[in-house]
Every structure is written in structure tokens, then in C-alpha cells.
Structure 1
């Protein structure tokens, strides 16, 4: 498979996860979310879609870059991709837990696990391709912020 096709496959997968997560969020963002207490540092709603779009693109490119190293380092790529897939699933699960089930506490527990898996994915990717690893750092930073935001929302609404 050509390198561009691998990147395109992972990129499309990440954007699809983002799109489906957005669909889960849409209803709650106009019904439940406005009714809960949020901290003063809560960003405006419009910021989330462009930030997540950029992050999903960076994740997809990063994942594709690692997949492109399969022939040279198959065992490490398999291990790294396992973490990548798990963190991507956890990413989607957080949206369902927080926005569909309206459960900030369970979402907080889940996002801590998500952060750990993103960090491990970054660590594994960095061993295979330094640039691929670096592409995950903004994602790790944003999820760090989201974890603090999630924790604050839970605390303010308990």
C-alpha cells in the first residue's frame, strides 16, 4: 500500500470518529450543556469543532506515518497502533459518557485513562518516528486541558 494511502486511511478514520462524536454532542450542546455550571475558563462552544478537527487531522497523519514504518519495524508498529486504536476508541467513548449519558464524573475517570493512553501512544510513536510522536503533543495538551475542564464541571455540578 502506498504511503499516501495509509495516511489517508488513518486520517479518514480519525475524522470519522470526530464526525460521529460531533453527532453525539450536537443535541446536548443545545439542551443539557447550557444548563450545567461551567468554570470561568470554559471556552466558547464554537472553538471546539475547529480545534478537534485540527487534532484529528494531526492524529491521522501521525498514525499514517507510523503505519508507513511497518515494513522496517513491524513489532513496534503493531504495539504502537494497538495503543493508538485504544486511545481513539476512548476518545469517542468520552463524548458518549459526557454528552450522551450526561455523566461528568464517569467521564472524568475515563478521560484520565484516555490521557494515559495518549501519552503511551506518543511514547510508542516517538520511538518509531519522532515527527509522528510530536504530532500527538497538541492532542495531549488539549486533552490535559479538557481533563481539567471536565473535573471542574464535575466539581461545580456535584
Structure 2
């Protein structure tokens, strides 16, 4: 950038506006993902340390701090993946991929309360509801992976660990059904 383009009263360069817009969109993806995780956690936290703490769990269950850390890292990865797809909107059809991203956020938001918060009222049915939502989430994330990969190989690769984690969480949910 030349000195004259940084002088007061000069127009902002189009590429600067594009970079700012791109950074803002990334921030929106990150905030949306964080808000979903925080809302679901807030709705479920009382029960997570209540009935769930006493429930029989699969031997491969990780500690809560590991689980929370992994969810956080994976949501950051999904946000970056969605952003990479969004950046290609001028050269590729991205509406389907981004719709799947939004759908997986919604399903993710529903899972924690359905499994943890509904258990005191619904009992075993909440475990089945949680498993059903997690299955739908897995299907949605697998579809998002396929759509993201069509647009950006890097975006598709960022979804792989998230899909793996979803399948792991589904196995924990199924174990809850079998053991309780």
C-alpha cells in the first residue's frame, strides 16, 4: 500500500474492504458456533453434573474437561471450514454447503438439552432422543463434508475430525442406552 493511499480523506481500497468483510464473516461463524455450544452447555450443565455424573458410562468415556476442549477445537475448525467455503461463493455454489453448516449447528444445539436436560422428565426416552439427534447430526455433518469438499479441499478436511467426534459421541450415547 502506498503512503498516499493511507492519507486521511483517501478512499479505502476495495481489497481492504474485502479483507475486512472476510474477517467479519469468519468472526460471525466463530461467534455463532461458540454461542451454540455455550447455550447448549448452559441448558444442560445442571443435569450433566446431576444424573449423568451417576449414570453408567462406556469405559471409553473421556473426562468432561477433555470433551469440552475437543468440542471447542472442533467448532473452531468447522467455523473455519464454513468460512473457507463462503470465500468461494463467487466461483462455486455454496448455499447447500452453508445450509448444512447451519443445520448441524442447530442439531448440535438441540442435542445437549435433549439428552441431559430432558432425562429427569423423560427418563430413558431422552437417551433415545439424544441418540436420534446425534445420528441426524452425523448424517448432516457427513453431507456437509461432501459439499464442503466440492468447494474447498481444505474445508472438507477440516470436517473429518468433527465427523469422527460425532461418531464417538454417538457411541457414548448408545452406551448410555445399553448401560442404564
- Tell me the TM-score normalised to structure 1 length: 0.93
Matched, 1:92 2:112: no
> In angstroms, what is the RMSD of aligned CA positions?
1.1
Deviations 1:107-139 (A, max 9, x none): 111111110000000100000011011111110
Deviations 1:52-91 (A, max 9, x none): 1101111111111111111222xx2011111111111011
Aligned to 1:48: 67
Q: Which stretches of structure 1, 4 residues or more, deviate above 6 A after TM superposition?
A: none
CA displacement at 1:95 relative to structure 2: 0.9
Q: Which structure has the larger Rg?
A: 2
Using CA pairs under 8 Å that are at least 6 residues apart, name the structure with larger relative contact order, 1 or 2: 1
Number of residue pairs aligned between Structure 1 and Structure 2: 155
- Tell me the TM-score normalised to structure 2 length: 0.82
What secondary structure, in the 3-state scheme, does the structure 2 residue paired with 1:80 have?
helix
What secondary structure, in the 3-state scheme, does the structure 2 residue paired with 1:60 have?
helix
Can you give the 5+ residue segments of structure 1 that lack an aligned partner in the other structure? Answer: none
CA displacement at 1:96 relative to structure 2: 1.4
Can you give the 5+ residue segments of structure 2 that lack an aligned partner in the other structure? Answer: 1-17, 120-125
